[in-house]
Structure 1
Amino acid sequence: MIVLIGGEKGGTGKTTLATNLAQMRAARGHDVLLVDTDKQESASSWASLRAEEGIDPTITAVQKLGKNITRDLLDLAKRYDDLVIDAGGRDSFELRAALVATEQIFIPVQASQFDVWTLGNMAELVEQAQVLNPRLRAFVVLNRASPNPSVSEAKEAESLLDDFPALTFCGVTLRDRIAFRKASSAGQGVEELHPKDPKAIDEITQLYEIVFNEK
Structure 2
Amino acid sequence: MIVALLNQKGGVGKTTLALHLAGEWTRRGKRITLIDADPQGSALDWSQTRGGEGLPRRFGVIGLARDTLHHEAPELARSADHVVIDGPPRVAGLMRSALLAADLVLIPVQPSPFDGWASAEMLSLLEEARIYRPELAARFVLNRCGARTVIARETAETLVDHDPPALVATIGQRVAFAAAAQQGRLVDEIGDGGRAASEIAALAAEIERLRVGRNVP
Same fold by TM-score greater than 0.5: yes
| Alpha-carbon distance in structure 1 between the residues aligned to 2:160 and 2:128 | 19
| Alpha-carbon distance in structure 2 between the residues aligned to 1:60 and 1:84 | 10
C-alpha distance after superposition, 1:160-215 (max 9, x if no partner)? 336852x111112211110011111111111111x13332122111111112229x
Unaligned regions of 5+ residues in structure 2, if any? 211-217
The answer to whether residue 192 in structure 2 is matched with residue 196 in structure 1 is yes
| Alpha-carbon distance in structure 2 between the residues aligned to 1:172 and 1:91 | 28
Q: TM-score, normalising length from structure 1? A: 0.90
| Alpha-carbon distance in structure 2 between the residues aligned to 1:171 and 1:85 | 21
- 2:46 is aligned with what amino acid? W
Dislocated runs of 4+, deviation >6 Å: none
State the shift of 1:97 in Å: 0.5
State the shift of 1:56 in Å: 3.0
- 1:104 is aligned with what amino acid? L
State the shift of 1:54 in Å: 2.8
- 1:169 is aligned with what amino acid? A
| Alpha-carbon distance in structure 1 between the residues aligned to 2:80 and 2:11 | 29
Match of 2:17 in 1: 17
Equivalent residue for 2:202, pick from 180, 194, 206: 206
User: Do the aligned partners of 1:3 and 1:103 also contact (CA within 8 Å) in 2?
Assistant: yes
Unaligned regions of 5+ residues in structure 1, if any? none
The answer to whether residue 167 in structure 2 is matched with residue 170 in structure 1 is yes
Report SS of the residue matched to 1:161: helix
CA root-mean-square deviation: 1.8
Number of aligned residue pairs: 210
| Alpha-carbon distance in structure 1 between the residues aligned to 2:209 and 2:51 | 28
Report SS of the residue matched to 1:155: helix
The answer to whether residue 2 in structure 2 is matched with residue 2 in structure 1 is yes
User: Do the aligned partners of 2:187 and 2:194 also contact (CA within 8 Å) in 1?
Assistant: no
| Alpha-carbon distance in structure 2 between the residues aligned to 1:66 and 1:141 | 25
Match of 1:122 in 2: 122
Match of 2:59 in 1: 59
Kindly report which structure 2 residues correspond to 1:50-129, keeping only aligned pairs within 5 A, or say none. Answer: 50-129=50-129
State the shift of 1:91 in Å: 4.5
